[in-house]
Amino acid sequence: MKRIILIVAFSFCVVGSAFSQEQESQIVATDTLEEVTYLEDKYADKYQESNIQNFSKLYWLKNVFSFDDDTAIDNFVMINECDFYQQYLKDDFNWEKVRDATREIIKEDIPTYSDKYKIIVPVDLGRYDPKKKGFPIINGTQFEDLRHVEVGGRKDRVCGRVRDVKKYPRSISFILNEPLSYKFVSIDEDVAQALILRDKNKSILDKPKELRSQRFNRLVFARVRMSFLQYQGVVTGDNKRPASTIFGEIDGIDIFENQDETGLLSTVDF
């Protein structure tokens, strides 16, 4: 999108210019106060954050809009290039050049847009089971017969606005092609021992602020990896706001010690 500035500046003179539980991750040892053991994250940076900026590109990838739709073009600039939008929107003569430049950039960049997304959710682990080599997921944080996930929906300001952006729902109502259950986290014993040892030394301040009022036996975080396959239209989401309905698949779930996707403990592909 930064190329819009260069393209438009030039146009002022010349107009137009993937349920398998194979864990192939390598164990990586890191030395701190005690030896800690984590797995290598083979999916790092492979899945997109669930936010309106990325969703705006997903909608173009899924052919939701026509390139003749000026409102879709205008709001794409607003979502992704707020300063540029505010500077040129009222410029009647040059805004058409902005639109034309944006159309060309979207057409060129569509092959780079992704339909692979992720969400991070808290998970509570029970006591380690040496026979099964893993932890049960407890206290209602397990995934049981999961068929629908509300993705996104954050109330981040978009170009100074809290209200919905026309044609670009902030939420996606994600419908699974097949129901999913995930109630047990398989973790090698040496990885589990290191986790238990570190967990003993944690305080409430080690939790994210929004989770400090909740009780957990052993708090970890699940990264749910999703493929958004088929766009179905717009409905009213769980938060009573517009949501895009998309059918797809959960590719896998990764369990991290930390919310920022550090300290990988387990990974499973479906």
Answer whether residue 263 is part of any domain. yes
Amino acid at 108: E
Least confident of 14-18, 59-63, 64-68: 14-18
Residue 2's pLDDT is 53
Report d(CA 175, CA 243) in Å as an integer. Answer: 12
Average pLDDT of the chain to the nearest whole number: 87
Least confident of 30-34, 146-150, 173-177, 222-226: 30-34
Amino acid at 237: G
Residue 15's pLDDT is 37
Task: Give the model confidence (pLDDT) of 67-117 as tens digits.
Answer: 999 999 999 999 999 998 999 989 988 899 999 999 999 999 999 999 999
**Could you tell me the residue range of the domain that residue 189 belongs to?**
23-50+114-269
Find the mean pLDDT for residues 161-189.
Answer: 93
Report d(CA 13, CA 196) in Å as an integer. Answer: 65
Answer whether residue 76 is part of any domain. no
Answer whether residue 105 is part of any domain. no
Answer whether residue 107 is part of any domain. no
Answer whether residue 87 is part of any domain. no
Answer whether residue 9 is part of any domain. no
Structural domain tally of the chain? 1
- HEC secondary structure over 138-206: ECCCCEEEEEEEEEECCCCCECCECCCECCECCEEEEEEEEEEEECEEECCHHHHHHHHHHHHCCCHHH
Answer whether residue 260 is part of any domain. yes
Residue 206's pLDDT is 86
Answer whether residue 2 is part of any domain. no
